[in-house]
Structure 1
Amino acid sequence: MEDPSANNSREIDEENLIAEDEFPQKDQRYFDGRRRMHKVPQSMRLKKHKEEDCYAPKMVSFGPYNHGLSELRMVEELKPSVLTMIVSSSGKDREFFYYKILEVIDQVRNCYVGVSRDLYDDGPLAEMMLLDACFAIYLMKINVGDDEDMYSHFNQHFGMARLSFAIRDMCLLDNQIPLWVMELSINLIYGNKKESMLLCNCLSSYIFGSCRVKRIPGEDKKRPLHFLDAYHRLLVKENPHEFGIFNRLEIFNRQFRSVTELKAKGIYFKPSSHCLNDVTYKSYKFFGQLRLPIWFFSDQSKQFFQNIIAYEASPESDVRFSIICYINFLKSLIVKPEDVKELREKKILLSNLGDEQVVQVIKEIDTFGIDYISPIFYEVKMRIEEHCNNKAKTWIAELIHTYFRNPWTFIALLAATFLLCLTFLQTYYTINPN
């Protein structure tokens, strides 16, 4: 067999890819021996009667935790042909890629919990990683509209209506392969071509609808562990504050106000960005402005957030509870359809669901009683409370909200004021006829 290293001469962009002569075990950004991919805790899997399992793949498995499920057999049988399609553009045979992954199979195995050699020997595990990495590349290229042949291939075998199920399965916590395996595969297959940005393009298209992200935040310090970790970093970016637990009695002594209640107190809403911890509050003389992140809610939002939350709460996770804080904050803001309507009108909350349905989706997202609060949300809540406790600001706001919210109440106020003035003048001239 040809020496796999014979073709290993491409120059690679170190910012986004693993150099071909630099295996992950030599770089602590990729693997430090302590970060592993845990399954969703059993306590989070307990479901109510007939409730959908948010953590189980519907179409495709990635990694060993869901490998071999009978309901996923259709895609599993197609993975070899996808592998052939992917590697054919490299000019190398599949054995080259297989042996490259086999060289780092111990590092792959150490990324999982309980995946022993009795369960998967080195050869089958390396084969699984190669097939899964190439299928992930296949889905990413289809998602960013980068390959018409792959698009047609998927449509022929599954129909494009099922693409969303496959993409959704890539974001399940129990359904991951090490991100550096995906990057290494992209590197070996495409080298220094435009596909070097495939991962960033795919992730940013999920969030922004366009390929605008050039790198994953914090990757120069410690690379993301898997695809969901990379997605999580883009959603929350970098928080400059140290995460901590505060004395929160002053802001939790009662339920936080909803969107409509805050509006009545003179607090107005504007969109900030697609980063879910981009929440800011600014106080003005007679009103306040709360900037909230933009998010599109669909019937898949619950499942997506449940897996992100499970990732943040999983053992050995070194990420902050940014998404959990965001969901808890959203739950306090949105309690009825009128709250959804207000945020929809302000282009903050986008959805193809009805207002009642969005309220229900948000209610059903379970944060499992985790009520930690980050410095960002803590500061925002404190400043909003200061505004609401200011009698002058809230009195003016309530006056405007009551009498100036539509033309008829404003006209009625003017008419009443005019009549009051006439009554005063009539009384005055009656008493003082001269």
Structure 2
Amino acid sequence: MPQRDAYETDWIVEVNESLKCMPTDERQYWKKRSIYRVPTSVTDLNRKAFQPQSVSFGPYHHGKSHLRTMEDHKCRAFLQFLRRSGKPLDPFLESLREVARDLEESYDTLGPEWKEGGREGAGDRFLKLMIIDGCFMLEILRAATQEVDDYEPDDPIFHTRGMLYIMPYIWPDMLMLENQLPMLVLDRLVAVESDGKEDDEYINRLILNYCSPVKHTARIGKCLHVLDVVRKSLLLYEKPKPDKVGCEGFLLVRSATELIEHGIRLKKSKTKSLTDISFAGGVLSLPEVVVEEATESMFLNLITFERFHVRTGNEVTSYIYFMDYIIDNVCDVTLLHNLGIVLNVLGDDKETTELFHLMAKYTTIEPDNSLIAVCNEVNEYCNKPWNKWRANLIQTYFRSPWALLSLIAAIFLFALATIQTVYTVLSYKT
């Protein structure tokens, strides 16, 4: 029997140890993950959309050089949070320690420097990161929604100047998949601070009121992190499921301008839910979407979250996939903007067109998605001869006042000629 070298022996020991550590129920193992590393194949679409530019939350980007300036502000916010709560650090730390393993397992890939079973003291380092970043996030949310105002007037982050110049950059960072904190951290901190008086929706309302000036009252339910809260808020609409769905014809969906040419009217849906897309009586209803600086980053991270966290569904992905067909060129964006469906804050229709094409890259749609049924209904309507004829008539004779006047004149002359012919025939008979 050949002798094993030291490298082979070490590898055998490593494999045997790994076998001992393998979870007996892999379903539970994967179920706990909710914060994922984004692969290069995805980040290559737009690196800035996935890499925080001003502040890190959690372990993945902690300590990066361009984010270190915010660490001192985190410590200030942490101390201010403790002072306002009137409680020492111990109860907060102990509350998080109770769920430390759950917090660790929320992360897809966590280095040994953060794991309790890894390097000595790693567990305490991880808890310290969770509590400081968690307090900072809560202070940001509260300051942005004017729930707290006990910072000095010249505070560079939490007062007027910070609201104008810093906060707009923090919000996109809070929506990045790699930059999430488990919602359990915020829940535990608030529970200790308020002695359990705040309900489950308190943090959800803080998050939604930060990203929108409109006060939110709808109940979102339990969420995994900030990105999950935003995703669920975009889908708040119970859409009835169609009797049947099928893939046939989905790829034949026409652009907005082509739909108009085929006699279909477009209008804004009654809600802003991305799932509120319907077709009835020749009218295609689409939800309003605001396109601004943070839109690309937000949607790319939502799409990536749906891709890796399979239990969420793929409603956001399907919406972007669908809109990529509706928006084929600049004319489509202009049309949708005039109808109030695409509120283009960017101001450049070409840029918005390219944005939807970029976001839709590498997206797909599930076979049983309800949008397929909507698209099939639209295509059936477009393919009916009467609808085609009526659309051609409208496009040919009613697109401009001159074409309409020419049609009226032709009808008038035809009527005169008919009357003259009838009069001549009657005169001949008499």
| TM-score for the superposition, normalised by structure 1 | 0.81
Percent identity of the aligned residues? 26
Specify the alignment match of 1:279 in structure 2.
277
CA contact 1:40–1:311 (8 Å) conserved in 2: no
> Shift of the alpha carbon at 1:32?
8.2
Aligned pair 1:62/2:63, yes or no?
Answer: no
Of stretches 408-417 and 80-89 in structure 1, the one that deviates more from structure 2 is 408-417
SS in 2 for 1:296: strand
Alignment partners' CA distance in 2, 1:95 and 1:360: 51
* Long gaps (5+) in structure 2: 1-27, 116-121
Q: Deviations over 1:185-209 (max 9, x none)?
A: 1222234667975422234336664
| Alignment partner of 1:100 is 2:104 | no
What's 2:318 paired with? 325
d(CA) in 1 for partners of 2:349 and 2:393? 28
Distance across 1 between alignment mates of 2:108 and 2:215: 34
Give the structure 2 partner of residue 8 of structure 1: none
Structure 2 length as normaliser, TM-score? Answer: 0.82
2:176 match:
172
Which sits farther off after the overlay, 260-269 or 153-162?
A: 153-162
Q: 1:195 to 1:34 in 2, by over 3 A?
A: closer
The answer to whether residue 413 in structure 2 is matched with residue 419 in structure 1 is yes
Larger Rg: 2
| 1:152-163 equivalent positions in 2, closer than 5 A | 152=153, 153=155, 154=157, 155=159, 158=162, 160-163=164-167
2:104 equivalent in structure 1: 109
Alignment match, 2:335:
342
State how 1:364-375 maps to structure 2 within 5 Å.
364-375=358-369
Establish whether residue 226 from structure 1 lines up as the match of residue 220 from structure 2: no
Q: Secondary structure at the match of 2:310?
A: coil
Equivalences for residues 21-420 of structure 1 within 5 A: 34-36=31-33, 37-47=35-45, 52-120=47-115, 121-149=122-150, 152=153, 153=155, 154=157, 155=159, 158=162, 160-191=164-195, 197-205=201-209, 209-216=213-220, 219=221, 223-237=222-236, 247-252=246-251, 255-272=252-269, 273-283=271-281, 288-314=282-308, 316-353=309-346, 354-420=348-414
**Contact 1:324/1:367, CA 8 A, preserved across alignment:** no
**Closer, same or farther: CA 432–249 of 1 in aligned 2, 3 Å:** same
Encode CA deviations 1:160-182: one digit per residue, 9 max, x unaligned: 22212101111100011111211
Query: Which structure features the higher share of helix residues?
Result: 2
- 1:213 is displaced (CA, Å) by 3.0
Q: Deviations along 1:199-224, whole A, 9 cap, x unmatched?
A: 222343366641223421xx3xxx32
RMSD (Å) for aligned C-alpha atoms: 2.7
SS of the counterpart of 1:87?
helix
Q: Number of paired residues?
A: 388
Match of 1:28 in 2: none
Q: 1:208 to 1:374 in 2, by over 3 A?
A: farther
The separation in 2 between residues aligned to 1:430 and 1:238, in whole angstroms, is: 67
- Within 1, Cα distance between the matches of 2:212 and 2:72? 33
Measure how far apart 1:238 and its partner are: 6.5
Return the letter of the residue paired with 2:32.
R
Distance verdict in 2 for CA 1:383–1:33, change over 3 Å: closer
CA separation of 1:310/1:144 partners in 2, compared to 1, >3 Å: closer, same or farther? same
CA contact (8 A) 1:59 1:72 kept: yes
Tell me whether 377-386 or 189-198 shows the greater mean CA deviation. 189-198
